[in-house]
């Protein structure tokens, strides 16, 4: 068949994948460190440095050796972020986006640290109204 014919199949020149991306992942942040998104990575790195900076300083002062302090301050956060990323990957696997955020918020609400934004009541529900007591039906006299 002639390629100029409208019935001819288009030439195969696509370079990328031939299927469309999954719609539930299109608007999600891409993973950059072992499954952590950019925002999660910033938090993990920041918290790891807040943890390891004083620890490295104390180790360096205790040993009277500054290079050891720098070594602890540099390698501690890297190892912490690597391990935390693996744990977060296990926590996030096969769950919806931001599952862990809701998990932490639910735990904080259960510990009465924050006001719950979720329905946390377990038990029977009612409408908040009471029905009048059932009255015995009286026979109606027919007038007429």
Q: Return d(Cα 34, Cα 84) in angstroms, integer.
A: 9
* 48 within 8 A of 73, measured Cβ to Cβ: no
> 0.85 cut: is pTM over it?
no
**Which backbone phi and psi does 14 adopt, to 5 degrees?**
-70, 140
Q: Residue 32: what pLDDT?
A: 85
Listed in sequence order, the DSSP H helices in the chain are 38-63, 66-92, 99-110
Per DSSP, the residues of 94-136 read TS-TTHHHHHHHHHHHHTTSS---S----S----S--PPPPPP
Can you give the residue ranges of every domain in the chain? Answer: 31-110
Looking at residue 25, what is its pLDDT?
Answer: 60
**Closest alpha carbon to 51 in 78, 88, 87, 85:** 78
SS3 32: strand
Mean pLDDT by 10 residues, the chain (144 residues): 60 61 67 86 94 94 93 95 91 84 89 84 75 66 60
């Amino acid at each position: 068949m002639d390629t100029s014919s409208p019935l001819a199949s288009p030439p195969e020149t696509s370079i990328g994948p031939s299927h469309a991306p999954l719609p539930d992942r299109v608007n999600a942040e891409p993973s950059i460190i072992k499954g952590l998104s950019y925002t999660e990575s910033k938090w993990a790195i920041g918290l790891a440095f807040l943890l390891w900076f004083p620890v490295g300083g104390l180790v360096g002062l205790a040993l009277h050796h500054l290079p050891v302090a720098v070594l602890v301050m540099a390698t501690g956060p890297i190892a912490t972020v690597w391990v935390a990323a693996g744990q977060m990957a296990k926590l996030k696997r096969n769950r919806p986006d931001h599952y862990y955020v809701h998990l932490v918020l639910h735990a904080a609400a259960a510990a009465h640290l924050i006001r719950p934004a979720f329905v946390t009541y377990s038990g029977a529900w009612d409408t908040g109204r009471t029905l009048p007591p059932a009255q015995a039906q009286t026979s109606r006299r027919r007038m007429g």
